[in-house]
């Protein structure tokens, strides 16, 4: 089935110099990584975010949290970027400024070849000291979780609920959002703040806002264009249409 992409959107993209993109778990779904909020297959359908993705949950049961992240890290290591990730890496080449802001922690954008990736929620491949908050690259895995030299527990370098986002990443995301002509929101339910605010800020700043998602979200009624489909299908089609006119 061909994907209907309005000609007006292609023309606005072709004329744009600055593009910002926000991605969420949905873009990695076609690589085999579960999303969070899918009613059947999402992580939060099977696990309690309060126990696994908050500092309080980690304090209560650090071993459970460490092992959950170890399992997810192993799964991510066994998958590959999909056609959606690849198309975004291709799109990056076409614009003077292209900022890819992701809520994902899986490095699949970087593995697909994207260069300007801003990670809002950290990266599962890194660990940091839970007391000093510094990234630790070497540690002895003699207990679970392992400990930092300072004696505190190590934890994944990701952003849990109630924690601040990395300030530099958020500032870069906001800057790209405020100054883009086209903003693409891809594979995110637009429920988690402050990431969910970015497309709304882009709208207020006058950008054309586009959503790519098989389901409607909190953003859908605000977006100028909603492309209802899987990112792995819609993004390659968008790239091909753009290539055909340029
Ligand atoms: C496809 C597809 C395909 C499927 N193609 N699409 C303002 C209002 C209300 C609450 C707050 C607020 N400000 C802050 C808060 C609190 C909180 C929050 O937002 N809570 C909401 C749930 C209400 N935010 C925070 O705590 C943040 N910190 C913060 O704000 O600090 C300041 C502060 C501190 C204290 C008090 C107040 C302020 C931190 C948020 C951290 C989120 N962390 C997680 C875990 C990361 C580590 C890990 O992976 O384990 O990040 S939670 C989880 O949700 C993960 C994701 O990045 C994030 C977003 O999820 P995403 O990517 O949108 O996934 P899904 O599953 O929701 O959606 C997938 C979509 O894909 C769906 O729509 C599908 O349809 C679609 N899809 N297949 C395209 N093939």
**30 in ligand 1 pocket by Cβ < 6 Å?**
yes
CA of 8 to the centre of ligand 1 (A): 31
- Whether the pLDDT of residue 246 is over 80: the answer is no
- Identify the band that residue 1 occupies on the pLDDT scale cut at 50, 70 and 90: low
* Nearest-CA residue for atom 35 of ligand 1: 162
Beta bridge partners of residue 122, listed in sequence order: 158
- Identify the band that residue 71 occupies on the pLDDT scale cut at 50, 70 and 90: very high
Return the ligand 1 atom nearest residue 103 CA: 57
* Nearest-CA residue for atom 50 of ligand 1: 53
* Nearest-CA residue for atom 38 of ligand 1: 162
Tokens found for residue 182: 């086209």
The pLDDT of residue 7 is 97
Q: Quick one: average pLDDT of 154-172? A: 98
Catalytic center residues? 121
Running DSSP on this structure, what letter comes out for residue 147?
B
**161 in ligand 1 pocket by Cβ < 6 Å?**
yes
CA of 216 to the centre of ligand 1 (A): 16
Contacts from 221-230 at CB under 8 Å and sequence distance 24+?
A: 223/185, 223/199, 224/9, 225/6, 225/9, 227/3, 227/5, 229/3, 230/29, 230/30, 230/84
Residue found by looking up tokens 């891809």 in the block: 186
| pTM (2 d.p.) | 0.97
Q: Quick one: average pLDDT of 180-208? A: 98
**156 in ligand 1 pocket by Cβ < 6 Å?**
no
- Identify the band that residue 3 occupies on the pLDDT scale cut at 50, 70 and 90: confident
* Nearest-CA residue for atom 57 of ligand 1: 103
Beta bridge partners of residue 98, listed in sequence order: 19
Measured distance CA(125)–CA(89) in Å, rounded = 21
CA of 137 to the centre of ligand 1 (A): 27
The pLDDT of residue 122 is 98
Chain segment 119-131, per-residue pLDDT in tens: 999 999 999 999 9
Torsion angle, CA of 120/125/131/134, rounded to 10 degrees? Answer: -80
Return the ligand 1 atom nearest residue 35 CA: 66
- Whether the pLDDT of residue 221 is over 70: the answer is yes
The pLDDT of residue 245 is 86
């Amino acid at each position: 089935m061909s994907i209907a992409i309005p000609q007006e959107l292609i023309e606005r993209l072709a004329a744009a110099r600055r593009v910002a993109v926000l991605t969420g778990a949905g873009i990695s779904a076609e690589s085999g990584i579960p999303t969070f909020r899918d009613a059947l297959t999402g992580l939060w359908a099977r696990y309690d975010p309060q126990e696994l993705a908050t500092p309080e949950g980690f304090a209560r049961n650090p071993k459970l949290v460490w092992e959950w992240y170890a399992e997810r890290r192993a799964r991510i290591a066994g998958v590959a970027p999909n056609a959606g990730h690849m198309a975004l890496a291709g799109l990056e080449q076409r614009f003077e400024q292209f900022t890819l802001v992701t809520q994902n922690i899986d490095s699949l954008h970087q593995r697909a070849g994207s260069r300007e990736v801003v990670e809002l929620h950290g990266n599962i491949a890194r660990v940091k000291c839970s007391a000093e908050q510094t990234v630790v690259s070497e540690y002895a895995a003699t207990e679970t979780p392992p400990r930092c030299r300072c004696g505190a527990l190590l934890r994944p370098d990701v952003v849990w609920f109630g924690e601040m986002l990395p300030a530099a990443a958020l500032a870069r995301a906001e800057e790209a959002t405020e100054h883009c002509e086209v903003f693409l929101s891809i594979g995110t339910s637009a429920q988690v703040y402050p990431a969910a605010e970015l497309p709304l800020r882009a709208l207020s700043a006058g950008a054309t806002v586009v959503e790519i998602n098989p389901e409607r979200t909190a953003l859908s009624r605000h977006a100028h264009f909603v492309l209802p489909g899987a990112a792995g299908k819609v993004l390659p089609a968008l790239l091909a249409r753009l290539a055909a006119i340029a």
